[in-house]
Chain A
């Protein structure tokens, strides 16, 4: 059984039943603390930048652009990019286009299950401002209100070339130590959670999916 913490500084997990409360952790997420020696942190960032493992979760129409990325023509493997089947093994989440409310719930769940350090690329125009679905009843317009985004690639649809350029840009950002999306999520956790619960009405999962 998971150790439940004291009432101060824990999550309510109000969406769970009493029985489920015992099964899920109610601890808050913790921010990533860099190594005290800068050279070590830089080395770690270099290593992270060159082994970007992408979560194979096609969240929208942009997911179709991820397939040619792995083929011989674009060959994302030369950047250390590989597809991974589970959130636990991956470090990059590519939001492939529009996110409907039903998908957003799964995105949050997968994103929180990813182990840090983790990075989010928002692909296409839809996560930025809604794109052609700006007046849809089921598509979120500003994706960064729900999940912190490290890099935007705009276009409808962006071609794999742009995706390769975006991956190189993400590597530069990681090497420079400027990809702090996961820490922003932890620091503004209550704000993100309030935004998420505003659109997801049937919240039946833990507040943080460890």
Chain B
């Protein structure tokens, strides 16, 4: 494992290496060299299986973090490649040439986060959301509760709690839910 990371560090600018548990490591790489790194991992290092591609929205930092989870069947090791992209210019190199199934993930990310993958097949077709006319729903500036109340309405008499407020009242009833 360490030899692999040393080899990678010799050729690529990888940082934030994080051993989550035995058999699972994550590392971070810049946007421009990410595709070359993933190609190298697939062709030379035996990470032949793409588990999934997903995205994390760090709205405070103004970035999306894309996570490419790769698996090596021989060493039974999973490697997560994290790539930060700008939230304002959400665009990433498509890897559907490396794994054909990647275009499905990319289509999903396009719909849920609005991330563009130039050249990825059928990217702008509707996937889960048919006829969606708002900003992509998994972006954190999208207020799903307000949208749900406007679009779907609520049944009269339904009572719901904000979990955070409710738990504070449960834990500190004498102080009226005051944490301090």
Residue of B nearest to A144 (CB): B155
B144 at the interface (CB under 8 A from A): yes
B175 at the interface (CB under 8 A from A): no
B99 at the interface (CB under 8 A from A): no
Which of A102, A136, A198, A202 is the one whose CB lies under 8 Å from B148? Answer: A136
Which of B126, B137, B145 is the one whose CB lies under 8 Å from A138? Answer: B137
Chief secondary structure at chain A's binding surface: loop
Looking at A105, A130, A138, A202, the one whose CB has the most chain B CB atoms below 10 A away is A138
A200 at the interface (CB under 8 A from B): yes
B74 at the interface (CB under 8 A from A): no
B21 at the interface (CB under 8 A from A): no
Looking at B132, B147, B148, B154, the one whose CB has the most chain A CB atoms below 10 A away is B148
B89 at the interface (CB under 8 A from A): no
Measured between alpha carbons, how far is A199 from B126 in the docked complex, in Å?
16
B36 at the interface (CB under 8 A from A): no
Measured between alpha carbons, how far is A102 from B111 in the docked complex, in Å?
14
* Contact A134 to B148, CB < 8 A, known contacts A129-B155, A129-B158: yes
CB neighbours of A101 from chain B (8 A): 129-130
* Contact A102 to B129, CB < 8 A, known contacts A135-B145, A137-B142: yes
Question: 1/0 per residue B141-180: CB within 8 Å of A?
Answer: 0101101110111110010100000000000000000000
Which of A128, A134, A198, A199 is the one whose CB lies under 8 Å from B160? Answer: A134
User: CB distance B126 to A140 under 8 Å?
Assistant: no
User: CB distance A137 to B148 under 8 Å?
Assistant: yes
CB neighbours of B148 from chain A (8 A): 130, 134-137, 139, 141
Measured between alpha carbons, how far is A41 from B104 in the docked complex, in Å?
53
B133 at the interface (CB under 8 A from A): yes
User: CB distance B147 to A137 under 8 Å?
Assistant: yes
A145 at the interface (CB under 8 A from B): yes
CB neighbours of B134 from chain A (8 A): 137
* Contact A129 to B154, CB < 8 A, known contacts A102-B130, A135-B148: yes
B131 at the interface (CB under 8 A from A): yes
Measured between alpha carbons, how far is A196 from B102 in the docked complex, in Å?
34
Q: Smallest Cβ distance from A201 to chain B, in angstroms?
A: 3
Residue of B nearest to A202 (CB): B131
B1 at the interface (CB under 8 A from A): no
Q: Smallest Cβ distance from A130 to chain B, in angstroms?
A: 7
CB interface residues, B 59-116, toward A, < 8 Å = none
Question: 1/0 per residue A174-209: CB within 8 Å of B?
Answer: 000000000000000000000000111111000000
Measured between alpha carbons, how far is A95 from B144 in the docked complex, in Å?
24
A142 at the interface (CB under 8 A from B): yes
* Contact A141 to B154, CB < 8 A, known contacts A134-B160, A136-B144: yes
Told that A138-B128, A145-B153, A203-B131 touch, could you supply 12 new A-B pairs with CB distance under 8 A?
A: A102-B128, A102-B130, A105-B130, A128-B155, A130-B152, A134-B154, A140-B152, A142-B154, A200-B131, A201-B133, A202-B126, A202-B131
* 4 cross-chain pairs, A with B, having the tightest CB-CB distances, nearest first: A201-B131, A202-B131, A135-B145, A129-B155
Residue contacts A-B, CB under 8 angstroms, 14 given: A105-B130, A129-B158, A130-B155, A130-B158, A134-B148, A134-B160, A135-B145, A135-B148, A138-B129, A140-B152, A141-B155, A199-B151, A199-B152, A202-B130
